């Protein structure tokens, strides 16, 4: 998640000269374990190196049609409009939403033996309790970022950011579910709480922070942290890791009041026509060296512990990518909420930004 909001425009990259496959009129192969000549893959923008895609193509002689989308909402809209993917990537709460809508196929884990590489804390999560429909791809958190070279006041939790030292000095992600969820956690609620009283309290809490925020940025908040425009903020762990790699004074703080732990996941839609090849693709990406190559490129946390020997040491020691054990165990994960509650989250967020 993570970048739950990716660049504003989706792009489509065709790695094959043909657009056959799930989006065509061709029927599925009669042999369930026949590798198809094409595979339609969907993912968030700038979230999978093309070199890895080419390695799969060359190994299995499969042409990949690679499409990107800017957000989970856009992925859902595309699927509901009839665009077909053999395999795609969706975030935690969206996986649960798609399960409820009957849009996802159960995975055949006999075709994904590398699932064994996924560490136990990253299986059977709240949005897919029995790991039936999804496989974790990358994960992360949304902690506080602090430039300890510039900040000379204690920062132990979100309320620390109300200190006058941070007036007009914070960069925060532009994400209603994330920030309203943090306001809920500050007040002792779960970040998925949809109770009206809890949400009203969250809105009042957010209002206290408005004068502190200088920049809303989901795409590259590391820029403001590095150029000095912001000395602290609330950002995706991958963005914090990128900032830390260039300036180790920029460190994460994981508030005891609660930390949002997010997961992006492989899914296979029910409309998929090349399921075996899709599962082969997932299994390929879960192989230790390929998974490490992915993390080395993307700089997010990898749930695949078998990849650790091949991951750059600088990433294995980066505090943004290796949070304390209690965060892994107790970090709160977004789940699906009713549409009416989602509208309330958005209203609170719009009022907050415009105030």
Place of tokens 């132990």: 156
DSSP assignment of 152-172 equals -S---SGGGGGSGGGTT-EEE
C-alpha separations of 207 from 172, 258, 260 in Å: 14, 19, 20
What is the C-alpha separation between 188 and 182, in angstroms, rounded? Answer: 10
Q: What phi, psi does 78 have (nearest 5°)?
A: -65, -45
List all residues 6 or more positions away from 34 whose beta carbon is below 8 Å from its beta carbon. 276
Q: Is the dihedral of CA 307, 308, 313, 319 positive or negative?
A: positive
What is the C-alpha separation between 140 and 71, in angstroms, rounded? Answer: 17
Pairing of strands 261-267, 134-141: antiparallel
Beta-strand runs (E) in the chain: 12-14, 38-44, 63-69, 87-91, 134-141, 144-147, 170-172, 213-216, 232-234, 250-253, 261-267
CB 47 within 8 A of CB 89: yes
C-alpha separations of 318 from 35, 89, 160, 252 in Å: 39, 25, 23, 10
93 is in an annotated binding site: yes
Pairing of strands 12-14, 63-69: antiparallel
Q: Cite the annotated binding site by residue number.
A: 93
Q: Cite the annotated binding site for spermidine by residue number.
A: 93
């Amino acid at each position: 998640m993570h970048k739950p909001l990716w660049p504003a425009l989706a792009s489509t990259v065709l790695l094959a000269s043909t657009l056959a496959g799930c989006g065509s009129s061709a029927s599925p192969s009669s042999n369930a374990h026949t590798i198809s000549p094409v595979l339609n893959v969907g993912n968030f923008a700038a979230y999978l190196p093309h070199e890895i895609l080419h390695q799969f193509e060359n190994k299995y002689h499969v042409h990949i049609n690679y499409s990107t989308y800017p957000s989970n909402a856009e992925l859902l809209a595309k699927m509901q409009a009839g665009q077909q993917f053999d395999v795609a990537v969706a975030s935690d709460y969206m996986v649960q939403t798609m399960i409820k809508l009957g849009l996802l196929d159960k995975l055949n884990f006999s075709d994904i033996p590398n699932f064994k590489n996924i560490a136990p804390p990253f299986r059977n999560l709240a949005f897919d309790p029995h790991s039936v429909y999804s496989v974790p791809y990358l994960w992360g958190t949304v902690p506080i970022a602090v430039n300890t070279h510039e900040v000379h006041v204690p920062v132990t939790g979100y309320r620390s950011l109300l200190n006058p030292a941070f007036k007009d000095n914070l960069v925060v992600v532009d994400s209603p579910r994330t920030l309203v969820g943090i306001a809920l956690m500050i007040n002792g609620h779960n970040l998925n709480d949809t109770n009206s009283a809890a949400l009203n309290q969250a809105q009042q809490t957010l209002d206290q922070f408005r004068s502190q925020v200088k920049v809303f940025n989901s795409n590259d908040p590391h820029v403001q942290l590095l150029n000095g425009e912001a000395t602290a903020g609330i950002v995706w762990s991958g963005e914090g890791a990128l900032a830390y790699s260039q300036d180790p004074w920029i460190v994460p703080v994981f508030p005891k009041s609660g930390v949002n732990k997010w997961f992006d996941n492989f899914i296979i839609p029910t409309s998929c026509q090349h399921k075996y090849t899709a599962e082969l693709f997932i299994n390929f990406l879960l192989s230790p060296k390929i998974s490490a190559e992915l993390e080395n490129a993307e700089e997010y946390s990898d749930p695949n512990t078998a990849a650790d020997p091949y991951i750059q040491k600088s990433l294995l020691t980066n505090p943004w990518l290796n949070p304390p054990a209690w965060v892994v165990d107790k970090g709160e994960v977004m789940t699906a909420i009713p549409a009416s509650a989602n509208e309330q989250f958005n209203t609170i967020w719009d009022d907050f930004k415009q105030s």
